Amino acid sequence: MNSQAILGDGNYKYEIVENWEILPDKYKWPETASVITDDQDNVYVFNRGTHPMIVFDSDGNFIKSWGEDIFLRPHGLSQGPDNTIFCSDDGDHSVRQCDLDGNIIMTIG
């Protein structure tokens, strides 16, 4: 695995880790719109593929995906209160508040 530091200061350093993710067969993401982590260090990749939200553990192991048949064109993520995620979609001009399993709590737009 190749790693290369690309940005950082002090304790906050970011690096490219090639082939970090371990995806199920036929899973891919052509364009990543946004990425966040939860309080368990799981990584949420909001993307414009057939599985809009792909969740990995911190080692890159696939945990689950969700958002199929919900999002038209994923755009951005923000962390909300109580382990929720705000997912913006510029395809239908909406923002959805979801729990970490993808259940929609609220839709704006």
* pTM of the predicted structure, to 2 decimals: 0.87
Give residue 4's pLDDT. Answer: 65
Average pLDDT per block of 10 residues along the chain, 109 residues long: 68 83 91 95 97 97 97 96 95 97 97
Architecture (CATH level 2) of domain 21-108: Beta Barrel (2.40)
The answer to whether 22 and 28 are in contact (CB under 8 A) is: no
